[in-house]
Each structure stands twice: as C-alpha cells, then as structure tokens.
Amino acid sequence: MRYINMGGSELRASVISLGCMRISDMDLKDISELVDQTLELGINLFDHADIYGGGKAEEKFAQAIGMNPAIREKILIQSKCGICRGYYDLSGKHILDSVDGILKRLRTEYLDVLILHRPDTLMEPEEIAAAFEKLKLSGKVRYFGVSNMNPMQIELLSKYVKQKLIINQLQFSVAHTSFIDSGLNVNMVNSSGVDRDGGVLEYCRLKNITIQAWSPLQYGFFEGTFIGNEKYPKLNQVLDRIAKEKGVTSSAVAIAWILRHPTKMQAVVGTTKKRRIVEIAKAADIELSRPEWYEIYCAAGNKLP
C-alpha cells in the first residue's frame, strides 16, 4: 500500500480509503471482517458521513470493531456533515451539533478530519470559522476539509477559517472526468472545453489540497458501475486487456488510473465485499504508463483535441 500526507498535514493515509456509506445494512460480524481485511491490506483511512444510514453506518462501525483507544490510534477516521433531508446546513450550530453526534456514534473523542459535505449557498463563513475554532481547540477535530466545492467557494471559506483545508472530495472516475476534460480542451469550441469546476484540479494542486475521488468506479450520479457495463464496451475491453497484462482485475486498473495522476489523489472505495477490497487494493502497486493512461481515458468516450 502507498501512503500520502493528506494536504501536507501529518496525517499519513493510504491512497485508498474505505467508504462506509453502505455498511449500515450489514451484520456486525461482516463489518468486522471487512474492516479487518481492509487493515490487513494497509488501508488505514475510513470515510463516514452523518447522513449515511441516518447515522447507523457510524454507529455500527464502532460496534463492529469494538472501538477503544488501542484500536482508534491505529486508524484514521473522517466524517462529513451538512446534508440534511431536503436541504443543506453549514451553520455553526449545525456543524457543532453534528460533530457531537458523530463522535458519540463512533465512540471516539476526536475525528482526524471533518469534511463539509456539500456547498451551502446560505453558508456564513464567519460562523463556520467560529465552529472550526471551537472544534480545534476542544480537540474534537484535528483537521478540516470540504467536499464538492469549487476554488472560489474554498477561497471564501479560507478568508475566515484559520485552519488549512486539507481535503476536497470530488466525484471522479474514468467515466466522470469533467475537471480533466476542461484542462485538455483549453481554447477549444466544444462541450469538453466547458469549465464546470472553476479549474479545481489545478487549484487543489497549487494549494496542496488532497483530492479524494468518490464514486471512482461509477458513471453518472449513482447510476451504476462502468465495470462490465454494456454501455462502455470499448472501455471495458481496454481495462480487461491491461488487467490481464498486469495480473489484476479491471477494477484495480480503473483505480490505478486515478492514482496515476500527479495530483496524488486518494480513491474512496465503497465496497462491502472482502474479495473486492483485496482486488482493488492492488491498484496501489500498479504504475500505468502515459500511453496506457490516455488509452483508458479515450476508451471511455473522451477525445483529445
């Protein structure tokens, strides 16, 4: 397994993270075995959110692993807040209340990273800054990040927030490449040249903000995986061929494609299967060449100008 210091911080995290969105419906025994397998592979970062299973994902995670100080110090936990039923809420009070609930459900005294889950157009950055300061001084949160935010939204927050924002979670896969497309199609009159993200890829590189790719094996917005999907015949043909050459699965190659980018991204993988996490973890040991990377990119239906 490979590791990076997230956002230049002291947090040394695996390049692959286990996303815990789907564990709320699992048996405790199965969760325990999944986490054990994940740790055995060297994956030490676990991604949560208070909205996952209405909080049950966090609660069952803590129960399944028998959370205690000895276990807690071996892992990195991040969780997210801000998504409510039918609206977003990044008010200072909601953030503080959410963290208290998260810590209680996870049976821990602190989060390694708190992430603001979605942009809230009604957010008041001064309130967020005050909440972050309280959480930092109390020891409840070590570091902070955002999710699905563009550069100007991060700049607005950073004007008031004292703590460096070390994470930006963005949807990214070989079948969802908008912030790659716009950078490759500069000055081109085509749909791929439309900048939908405000140059977020380059911005995060400049600011040393780690991009965490969510839904790294998905296309659309939770529409399904592109692996083995008849909608992506050429992509799967290329992934299968490269996977066979390297002795891994096509899923591992698709994750390695993300990890190959010099931005040094992390992939948040939401599998609930031990076998799948074993297969996917091999992505950290795969080095794709430039021709292979671009071949995969184009096989997904993208065109180079």
Instruction: Give me the phi and psi of 167, to 5 degrees please.
Output: -130, 140
Burial of 233 (0-12, 13-18, 19+ CB in 10 A): exposed
Q: Among residues 3, 52, 87, 232, which one is catalytic?
A: 52
Cα(305)–Cα(303) distance, integer angstroms: 6
Instruction: List the Cα angle 50/139/76 in 5-degree steps.
Output: 55
Give the CA distances from residue 214 to residues 52, 117, 153, 267, in Å, rounded to whole numbers and listed in that order.
Answer: 14, 12, 19, 6
Q: Which two tokens stand for residue 103?
A: 């810590």
A 10 A CB-CB count for 109 gives: 11
232 counts as catalytic: no
**Residues with Cβ < 8 Å from 81, sequence gap 6 or more?**
49, 50, 94, 95, 98, 99, 102, 114, 115, 116, 117
Cα(125)–Cα(131) distance, integer angstroms: 10
Going through the chain in order, the beta strands assigned E by DSSP cover: 3-5, 12-14, 16-19, 45-47, 76-81, 83-84, 87-88, 111-116, 141-147, 165-171, 210-214, 218-219, 224-225, 266-269
Which residues belong to the active site?
Answer: 52
